[in-house]
Structure 1
């Protein structure tokens, strides 16, 4: 009985040991399988990370390339805008020149008509004078045997102004005197009706303050020139550096002009600040034929 019980106990212990050994082997295999699965998951994640890094790198290079292309497009747009601005300035200048030529042609046509009419009047006067009895001479109101309208003008700009560009042509819009109608207050141009010697004067004024619309931080400063046809024949400048310190300048010139020559006042360069031409000071342009 005792021997049987001992064998039974031994058999039970052996089965327990075998069972525990089997369970331990199964656990190890299960853990190895799980570890392999974890390693496969980690490997897949590493592969995904590498792919994502390559995609990010490619996208980064594409972004750099696109940034360069955008920079080039911006440069092209800026260049195009500068070209358009220059073309617009050229168009404006050409339109001004065309307008001046049209006005000049109209003035010359009018002057030709006036000269033709005066010639007829002079011929009629000469004929009438010749028909007078001997010793009798026809005289006009000015006391001379014949009468020719003197050429003389004086005009000024009627209000303060600002923003003067390079080669700007000044238009003296208010006429005080325009005997002979040689000055055009719409174009600012004097046109010689006949060849001869002429005298011209021109005055400018700059402000030591800023008028309405003046966005320049500097006070008034400008240089202008008297131009015959396309050639300058004199220049003056005015400059103020302090507040309330206005400045003026006047130029004078004597020029020989051929019939049809024009004389004008233009900016020698770009002006700055404000320019006075109202209550106390005026920009003015005047001239007359000497002989």
Structure 2
């Protein structure tokens, strides 16, 4: 009876040993796989650390930064767009012996980009700050003189004289100025004194024009 039980116990122990050995083999396999994974991850980490060191100790880092971040320490080479502002107008009829300080009104408007020139007042009002070019051509009749000034906010900025001395002689003068204007500044042309008729007809027009060349 005792021998039978001993044999039974031995069989059970052998079965348990077999189970433990199988589990041990599985655990060893899992441990080996984990070791392999850890080793691979360590290699990857070392590779990235070397890359970071290279970026910190070479010219690659500034170059990489320039690709990722905006450059703030150098001027932009991209031109700033200029909104179109331009006008061209002429007088539809002669102005006979205008008085001093008379504002010329160029009432036929052919171009008015930006709608900054008024044919009713003869005045251009800057819609935005910037640099502008203004030019005008004045025709004077026989035996007389026209003294003109270009005004910016009631201050003289330019001028011209159309003077004729002989019978049958007509004279024209053209003046061009470049002006830096603030938004809301006004520009017009006025007589200082006049002893002649300002001519403007189909063969010789008295004109006024201007355009913006740059932003402020």
- TM-score normalized with structure 2 length: 0.60
Query: How far apart are the structure 2 equivalents of 1:148 and 1:200?
Result: 17
Matches within 5 A, 1:235-246: 235-246=159-170
Superposition RMSD in Å = 1.9
SS at match of 2:148: strand
Q: What residue is the counterpart of 2:186 in the other structure? A: 262
SS at match of 1:161: coil
- Whether the 8 Å CA contact 1:220–1:275 is kept in 2: the answer is no
Shift of 1:148: 6.5
> Which deviations, in whole Å up to 9, do the C-alpha atoms of 1:68-109 show, x marking residues without a partner?
xxxxxxxxxxxxxxxxxxxxxxxxxxxxxxxxxxxxxxxxxx
Query: How far apart are the structure 2 equivalents of 1:274 and 1:263?
Result: 23
Higher-RCO chain (CA-CA 8 Å, sequence separation at least 6): 2
Unaligned runs of 5+ in 1: 1-145, 209-218
> Which deviations, in whole Å up to 9, do the C-alpha atoms of 1:25-74 show, x marking residues without a partner?
xxxxxxxxxxxxxxxxxxxxxxxxxxxxxxxxxxxxxxxxxxxxxxxxxx
Shift of 1:149: 4.3
Larger radius of gyration: 1
Which of the residues 200, 207, 211 maps onto 1:284?
A: 207
Query: How far apart are the structure 1 equivalents of 2:126 and 2:160?
Result: 23
Q: What residue is the counterpart of 1:78 in the other structure? A: none
Greater helix share, 1 or 2?
1
User: Structure 1 residue runs of 4+, over 6 Å off?
Assistant: none
Which of the residues 122, 132, 136 maps onto 1:202?
A: 136
Aligned length: 137
Greater strand share, 1 or 2?
2
